[in-house]
Structure 1
Amino acid sequence: MFSMWRHLNASRTFTCTAADFFSLQPRQTLFLCSDARVLRINPNRDFSGKRFNVPPSAEFVARVSGIPTMAKLPYQEAADGLDAAFVGVPIDTGTSNRPGARFGPRHIRMESALLRAYNSGTRAAPFESLMVADIGDVNVNVYDLKDTCKRIREAYRKILATGCIPLTMGGDHTIAYPILQAVAEKHGPVGLVHVDAHADTSDVVLGEKIGHGTPFRRCVEEGLLDCRRVVQIGLRGSGYSPDSYEWSRAQGFRVVQAEECWFKSLAPLMAEVRAQIGSGPVYLSFDIDALDPGFAPGTGTPEIAGLTPIQGVEIIRGCRGLNLVGCDLVEVSPPYDTTGNTALTGANLLFEMLCVLPKMKYY
């Protein structure tokens, strides 16, 4: 260990076991963790020799220090060599009500400093299982939504070509459409677990066919979804017709309205969802407005009487065992929640998504 420390300046990257890492003095540990390029820790208890990126412990590195990345993970420019990557898509150009979701990825990253290496509830060890990093944001065009969709689609083609699973921070829900275009190019039509207050299956809004209320209509039209393996959970609110979800049901979607979720655990529901979706590829899309605005007020189109954070976690944990090929957490609008709690909730839900990806190790 001390030999590693003496020769630190000879190379920019070192691999050590967790035991070695925690044997360092706090000052040495702080130096190593302050520059994510310097150190990759192998935290495996069996010391298998694999190398993983690991969030630095707040026991040694102040959460308020450093440049914000998701969970304080290393930043790298591309997805090469990664099993999963956090990526931001900072747009709100498709928003129909309150803007601000373009700042969602930035604030989710800031609040994610509270995340730690293990999931105490499920005993998942994501950073012993997968190589994960933050690959920054898609370079969107905030003046042109159609061009932004093209940029997103091209960026995700490159991510998916590496075999990496993208974990996306939105941004408004428009982004699901170009992401699923890229996902379906690689995997074919996919199943979908869609958690939202709204079905997002409108055809045309104010003369436009692309916006945050239309992505899943476009996905069905283009054959991106295996409609027999689609479930929408948490839908609620007033509508433009007596049955706002008639179109979804006509496609073969399972629609679970919020009223069906009140006052109950959603673990039994997710057992049914797993049976419906089976072993094929599936995408998880989680709009933060699925949660009641009392818990997550920082969003563009809030609807009362929604899901609780506990139910949101139950849904994501209920995806364990599915062949997840991508996930997103969208519609966090920080200007409408000065406490930061909506972004904090989003960061934790993204961590839960990471913890149910395929090949996850559990203790």
Structure 2
Amino acid sequence: MFTFLKQTGKRSVSVFEALRTTGTISGIAPQTAAYGGEYAVRAANIDPKRRFSDKRYNVPPSAEFVARVSGIATMGKLPFQESAEGLDAAFVGVPIDTGTSNRPGARFGPRQIRAESAMLRAFNGGTRAAPYESLMVADIGDVNVNVYDLKDTCKRIREAYRKIVATGCIPLTLGGDHTIAYPILQAVAEKHGPVGLIHVDAHADTSDVVLGEKIGHGTPFRRCVEEGLLDCKRVVQIGLRGTGYSPDAYQWSREQGFRVVQVEECWFKSLTPLMAEVRKQMGDGPVYLSFDIDALDPAFAPGTGTPEIAGLTPIQALEIIRGCRGLNLIGCDLVEVSPPYDTTGNTALTAANLLFEMMCVLPKIKYY
């Protein structure tokens, strides 16, 4: 956990000890320190007990008294630890763009998402979710990828995620191009068997061979089907659009039993009713959520490798993710953020918020 210190003579003490002995943190009253009231004590490292076990919470610092620009960038300014041991969920980066077919730069996605995530706070104001009162969460860094060899990178990702899921930890992945979903799902399916998939994207990513290669960011879900990693009757693809190489670019998906929701079905609508149907489709079985940032219209998320016009809005993105509440989510990813194509940082900021929303719909989350 983060421990915030103040000097008392020659000895450093925790913020909580300072509160207990002096009633202030550098002149800030206890009720306004950190997150205010009861949560000020929790944010000040008093080791609160979790509702589901006797482990401690990890609580990010509040920007009310720790500057957002300070410190080493981790997801949401959470603590860093080297493995998933003892965690209920973990943010993990996979910094590759070796599988990209158009604009590169997604290898820098995890780094930029972490930087922009300093804006995140402890509670979800829309849903009243309290993830840091529910789960032990940390940032476990990046998979050590091989930027020269995509097949070796896939092997490294698969091995890393085997270790993560073996601990019972739910991975929340910062991509990286969409190739990464294939080795991640290999590791996830080894533990859970064939999983349901909620795939939010401008593209189906079900191509067979591209430029002679079977592994790339346009092929992951065909490879997953071929290897039996997906429960095809529990797969939905949302937001698909753009020009294609045939009159119906999504015929193969439908033939496998996927539900295909093209973007035209989403225009001018709330997607809350759609997600009620998706929850019924997914049932009680394990579900993986894979969200490509290019599902959003490039007006909202220009920093991506293969943009397509007329996409989803950020509001619809929130409706999709919040609509996953109650599902047995066993992993999530947010991929294809390419910072060089958005100098404002807004694409990465949107991605950081969507990852926070994913954490807020994991099983066992407490809501106020």
Name the TM-score, length of structure 1 as normaliser.
0.91
The residue aligned with 2:192 is 187
Aligned partners of 1:40 and 1:51 also within 8 Å: no
Give the unaligned 5+ runs of structure 2.
35-42
Matched AA of 1:211: G
CA shift at 1:51, angstroms? 1.6
CA shift at 1:50, angstroms? 5.0
Q: What pairs with 1:261-340 in structure 2 (closer than 5 Å)? A: 261-340=266-345
RMSD of aligned Cα (Å): 2.9
| 2:11 is the alignment partner of 1:24 | no
Change (3 A) 1:12 1:206: farther
Change (3 A) 1:22 1:170: farther
CA shift at 1:356, angstroms? 0.1
Deviations 1:221-252 (A, max 9, x none): 00000000000000000000000000000000
2: CA distance, partners of 1:256 / 1:9: 63
The residue aligned with 2:230 is 225
Give the unaligned 5+ runs of structure 1.
none
Matched AA of 2:236: V
CA shift at 1:134, angstroms? 0.2
- Percent identity for Structure 1 against Structure 2: 82
CA shift at 1:43, angstroms? 6.1
CA shift at 1:24, angstroms? 3.2
2: CA distance, partners of 1:8 / 1:76: 31
Matched AA of 1:208: E
Matched AA of 1:359: K
Q: What pairs with 1:56-67 in structure 2 (closer than 5 Å)? A: 56-67=61-72
1: CA distance, partners of 2:81 / 2:274: 38
CA shift at 1:195, angstroms? 0.1
The residue aligned with 1:83 is 88
Deviations 1:19-55 (A, max 9, x none): 99995336999xx99xxxx974546799x97520111
Aligned partners of 1:76 and 1:135 also within 8 Å: yes
How many pairs align?
353
Q: What pairs with 1:1-363 in structure 2 (closer than 5 Å)? A: 23-25=24-26, 40-42=45-47, 51-363=56-368
Matched AA of 2:59: V
Name the TM-score, length of structure 2 as normaliser.
0.90
2: CA distance, partners of 1:104 / 1:355: 21
Aligned partners of 2:172 and 2:355 also within 8 Å: yes
Q: Return structure 1 stretches of 4+ with deviation > 4 angstroms.
A: 4-16, 18-23, 26-29, 41-46
Change (3 A) 1:79 1:27: farther
Deviations 1:259-279 (A, max 9, x none): 000001000000000000000
2: CA distance, partners of 1:90 / 1:213: 17
Matched AA of 2:58: N
Deviations 1:192-247 (A, max 9, x none): 00000000000000000000000000000000000000000000000000000000
2: CA distance, partners of 1:281 / 1:122: 23
Aligned partners of 1:290 and 1:307 also within 8 Å: yes
Could you say what secondary structure the match of 2:261 adopts?
strand
Matched AA of 1:272: E
Could you say what secondary structure the match of 1:202 adopts?
coil
Matched AA of 1:224: L
2: CA distance, partners of 1:107 / 1:255: 31
1: CA distance, partners of 2:257 / 2:154: 27
Per mean C-alpha deviation after superposition, the further-off stretch among 18-27 and 57-66 is: 18-27
2: CA distance, partners of 1:20 / 1:273: 53
